[in-house]
């Protein structure tokens, strides 16, 4: 029991020393303020550096504004080119649909004429004549369709993404 009591006292002493020790070690010591006089040459050099920085900032603002205007103009031109391209594609698609509708109508009419000609009991010679007429009508519709598609205006090239000059770099403060 004596041994345990001694250990408690030693542990308590060490704990108290650890708790109290950091407060003295980390005490804030402030040095006494010193006053230094800035020479007139240093003041003049600092004013000159500030004036140069102000001039550089003004030049940067002008360059940045010019860069933004150029970028915005390029983007507007690109958007206009995309709109023109999309309109041309839509017109081409509409024209091709109209041509295909005309072709499909001609093919359906040829099929209907063949079906009407071969209805009931028909001789082989009459069936062959009707078949030849259907084949000739489909070939004429195909040729007309090919000619109409070839007569369509060519599609404009895809709009090229504009390249913009790199953004100007801001001057470093003195």
The tokens for 161 are 């993404």
CA-based nearest residue to 139, from 101, 98, 107, 96? 107
Q: Give pTM, 2 decimals.
A: 0.59
Please tell me the predicted confidence (pLDDT) of residue 36.
78
Cβ(173)–Cβ(53) below 8 Å: yes
Instruction: Give the chain's residues under pLDDT 70.
Output: 1-3, 16-28
Cβ(168)–Cβ(64) below 8 Å: yes
Please tell me the predicted confidence (pLDDT) of residue 135.
95
């Amino acid at each position: 029991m004596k041994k345990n009591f001694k250990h408690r006292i030693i542990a308590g002493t060490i704990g108290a020393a650890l708790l109290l020790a950091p407060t003295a070690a980390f005490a804030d010591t402030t040095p006494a303020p010193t006053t230094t006089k800035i020479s007139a040459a240093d003041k003049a050099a600092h004013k000159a550096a500030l004036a140069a920085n102000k001039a550089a900032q003004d030049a940067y603002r002008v360059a940045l504004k010019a860069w933004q205007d150029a970028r915005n103009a390029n983007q507007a031109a690109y958007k206009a080119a995309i709109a023109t391209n999309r309109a041309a594609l839509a017109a081409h698609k509409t024209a091709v649909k109209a041509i295909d509708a005309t072709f499909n109508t001609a093919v359906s009419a040829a099929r209907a004429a063949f079906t009407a000609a071969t209805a009931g009991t028909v001789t082989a010679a009459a069936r062959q004549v009707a078949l030849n007429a259907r084949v000739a009508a489909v070939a004429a519709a195909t040729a007309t369709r090919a000619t109409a598609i070839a007569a369509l205006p060519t599609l404009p090239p895809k709009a090229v993404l504009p390249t913009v000059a790199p953004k100007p770099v801001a001057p470093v403060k003195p």
